[in-house]
């Protein structure tokens, strides 16, 4: 609906859509590089046990995301809080799903109704896949990421998912929270179309930059989580807490610090995708608009220095 399209007030024209971020192909599925993470739809803080977000607002955010050109949504069956399930919200808001919408989910960890965490054995992964299928109302999953804990071998668990892919329940496979060695191990079992690791302007594992470059060389998407929040900032940060470098670039573009962080993330390579999450329609519009923000070489050099400093 036209009324729901965010407007660039200064120029009286529609704001940029997610298409401005460019396109990458996950296996054989083209997606805009600016996507949407569903985790925060379930509570004001990730996995919150407090008061959940207003359901109507969460549904509105999902519909607005798709209307704004987002065609890559990241979710998981363990994204839930007291009264909200991200998968159920996605199903309610978007089914029947529009053509070209790619929904990625994760398996490995799971939570019981009380919120206690456990990790699936290889034999339990089929149940997790089937749970995602039920909640999303799908007959197959576009992309399933195996979330890894620690540095143990993932071959047996990834092999179990490869069998489900061969059976037609999964279209493409990815891995999450992995090292370069674990990625190589997974690729010996089955094709990997994406790596979803923690990475941001001021955060990430010691080998994150090397893994990002290796993914680019192999044609594998690199999908950072917490790209805006960074280390220790998952609950958000006021502008006054931002480094001077980020604030300077934001002022130069009349942008928010979060938009600068997203733009820097996308500038790390054409294979880098962003999946910022929010439950607020205004923040969603800001995130989508960040896909059109182009930083100068000098600004990227300035922010790269901040990144190297950690």
| Residues forming the active site | 79
Please report where in the chains the tokens 């928010």 appear, as a residue: 256
Question: What are the structure tokens assigned to 304, written together?
Answer: 């790269």
Q: At what angle do helices 155-166 and 125-136 cross, to 10 degrees?
A: 50
CB 223, CB 195: distance < 8 Å: yes
Question: What are the structure tokens assigned to 97, written together?
Answer: 């799903």
Strand 102-107 to strand 109-111: parallel, antiparallel, or no bridges (unpaired)? unpaired
* Spatial separation of the C-alpha atoms in residues 171 and 223, rounded to whole Å: 18
User: Taking the alpha carbons of 262, 258, 203, 179 in that order, is the dihedral positive or negative?
Assistant: negative
Q: Where are the alpha helices (DSSP H) in 167-240?
A: 180-189, 208-218
Residues 6+ away with beta carbon under 8 Å from 304: none
């Amino acid at each position: 609906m036209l009324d729901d399209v965010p407007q660039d007030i200064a120029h009286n024209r529609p704001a940029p859509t997610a298409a401005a971020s460019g396109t990458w192909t996950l296996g054989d599925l083209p997606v805009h590089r600016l996507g949407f993470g569903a985790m925060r739809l379930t509570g004001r803080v990730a996995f919150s046990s407090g008061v959940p977000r207003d359901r109507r607002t969460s549904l509105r955010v999902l519909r607005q995301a798709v209307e704004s050109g987002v065609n890559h949504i990241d979710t998981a069956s363990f994204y839930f809080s007291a009264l909200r399930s991200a998968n159920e919200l996605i199903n309610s808001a978007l089914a029947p799903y529009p053509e070209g919408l790619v929904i990625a989910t994760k398996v490995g960890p799971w939570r019981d109704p009380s919120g206690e965490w456990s990790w699936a054995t290889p034999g339990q992964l089929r149940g997790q896949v089937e749970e995602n299928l039920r909640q999303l109302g799908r007959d197959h999953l576009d992309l399933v990421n195996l979330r890894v804990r620690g540095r143990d071998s993932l071959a047996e668990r990834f092999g179990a998912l490869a069998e489900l892919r061969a059976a037609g329940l999964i279209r493409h496979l990815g891995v999450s929270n992995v090292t370069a060695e674990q990625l190589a191990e997974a690729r010996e079992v089955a094709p990997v179309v994406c790596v979803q690791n923690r990475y941001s302007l001021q955060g990430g594992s010691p080998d994150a930059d090397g893994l990002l470059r290796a993914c680019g060389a192999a044609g594998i998407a690199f999908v950072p989580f917490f790209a805006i929040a960074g280390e220790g900032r998952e609950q958000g940060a006021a502008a006054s807490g931002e480094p001077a470098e980020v604030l300077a670039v934001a002022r130069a573009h009349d942008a928010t610090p979060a938009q600068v962080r997203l733009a820097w993330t996308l500038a790390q390579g054409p294979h880098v995708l962003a999946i910022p999450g929010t439950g607020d329609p205004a923040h969603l519009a800001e995130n989508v608009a960040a896909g059109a923000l182009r930083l100068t070489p000098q600004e990227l050099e300035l922010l790269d220095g901040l990144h190297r400093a950690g």
